[in-house]
């Protein structure tokens, strides 16, 4: 048995979140002590892992409850979600190879091939997720904007994203505070980078996007590429910028 504090710490979540999951029947504790403390066994750990995986894929809590209630076989459920994560890993791997190829060709003065430049960058793969999180109009707006760009404009947009990510990593490595003027200038670049594709970059949208850097495993590359803690650093910097500059 593990205590609620132990589980929260290991899963990177909070005791408050676990208590909420209990309140809505999504993750009841395996045992409640005479002192009222919640304890969780190995089955509960597996269920929590599934919950976090499904959350990272953009499912709302009621939908997660429905999925878990329909799957009593933890091994089968984990196998399905492992397959989804492996698909996403493969897509990210293609993106990495694409960027490496582009850099190599740019450095060597070689002509670019559009199919190589954009391998792994299928924005339509996120249609359902964007629609679920921010509405159909948000996806349609971003889709129209992306399709309107030329190949060179798409490349420039992706290059700016890579440059911003590198700047965040360097700032964190230098020990700068997330709310410092230099870091906030980097966040301003990120905000400007988003604006053409996003209909309205509200405070809530920007803060929510910042949380994805920590909560969504697809953003894990920031830590591996730029050092542990970079994702949390970006999240905190975006929250500070949003609170000081963006309307609700």
Residues sharing a CB contact under 8 Å with residue 156, sequence separation 6 or more, in sequence order: none
Please, is 100 exposed, middle or buried when counting C-beta atoms within 10 Å of its C-beta (0-12, 13-18, 19+)?
exposed
Pairwise CA distance, residues 127 & 139, whole Å: 6
Mean pLDDT calculated for residue range 176-189: 88
Selected from 3.40.50.1820, 1.10.540.10, 1.10.490.50, 3.40.50.10860, the CATH number assigned to the domain covering 149-245 reads 1.10.490.50
Secondary structure of residue 158 in the 3-state scheme: helix
Instruction: Give the residue among 223, 168, 190, 238 at the shortest CA–CA distance from 12.
Output: 223
Tell whether the model's pLDDT for residue 28 goes beyond 90: yes
Pairwise CA distance, residues 134 & 19, whole Å: 27
In order, the DSSP letters of 206-218 are: HHHHHHHHHH-GG
Tell whether the model's pLDDT for residue 55 goes beyond 60: yes
| DSSP for residue 133 | H
What is the C-alpha end-to-end distance of the chain, expressed in Å? 42
Could you read off the pLDDT of 123-155 as tens digits, one per residue? 444 444 444 555 556 656 667 787 787 878 887
Return mean pLDDT, the chain. 76
Among 60-74, 147-161, 195-209, name the one with the lowest average pLDDT: 60-74
Structural fold of domain 2-72: Multidrug-efflux Transporter Regulator; Chain: A; Domain 2 (1.10.1660)
Percent of the chain with pLDDT over 90: 12
Tell whether the model's pLDDT for residue 57 goes beyond 70: no
Tell whether the model's pLDDT for residue 30 goes beyond 90: yes
Between 95 and 47, the higher pLDDT residue: 47
Could you read off the pLDDT of 69-109 as tens digits, one per residue? 765 566 666 666 666 566 667 667 766 776 777 677 677 77
Secondary structure of residue 115 in the 3-state scheme: helix
Task: Locate the domains of the chain by residue range.
Answer: 2-72, 79-121, 149-245
Residues sharing a CB contact under 8 Å with residue 113, sequence separation 6 or more, in sequence order: none
């Amino acid at each position: 048995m593990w205590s609620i504090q132990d589980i929260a710490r290991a899963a990177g979540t909070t005791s408050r979140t676990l208590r909420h999951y209990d309140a809505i029947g999504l993750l009841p504790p395996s045992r409640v002590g005479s002192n009222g403390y919640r304890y969780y066994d190995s089955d509960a750990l597996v269920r929590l892992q599934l919950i976090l995986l499904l959350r990272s894929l953009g499912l709302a809590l009621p939908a997660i409850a429905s999925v878990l209630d329909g799957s009593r076989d933890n091994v089968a459920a984990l196998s399905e979600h492992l397959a989804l994560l492996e698909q996403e890993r493969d897509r990210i791997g293609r993106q990495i190879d694409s960027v490496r190829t582009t850099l190599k060709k740019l450095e060597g003065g070689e002509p670019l091939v559009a199919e190589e430049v954009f391998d792994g960058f299928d924005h339509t793969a996120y249609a359902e997720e964007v629609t679920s999180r921010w509405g159909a109009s948000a996806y349609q707006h971003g889709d129209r904007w992306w399709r309107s760009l030329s190949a060179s404009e798409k490349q420039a947009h992706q290059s700016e994203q890579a440059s911003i990510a590198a700047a965040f990593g360097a700032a964190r490595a230098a020990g700068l505070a997330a709310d410092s003027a230099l870091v906030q200038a980097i966040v301003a670049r990120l905000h400007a980078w988003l604006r053409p594709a996003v209909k309205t970059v509200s405070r809530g949208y920007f803060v929510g996007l910042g949380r994805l850097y920590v909560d969504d495993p697809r953003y894990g590359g920031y830590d591996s590429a730029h050092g542990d803690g970079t994702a949390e650093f970006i999240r905190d910097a975006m929250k500070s910028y949003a609170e000081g500059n963006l309307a609700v």
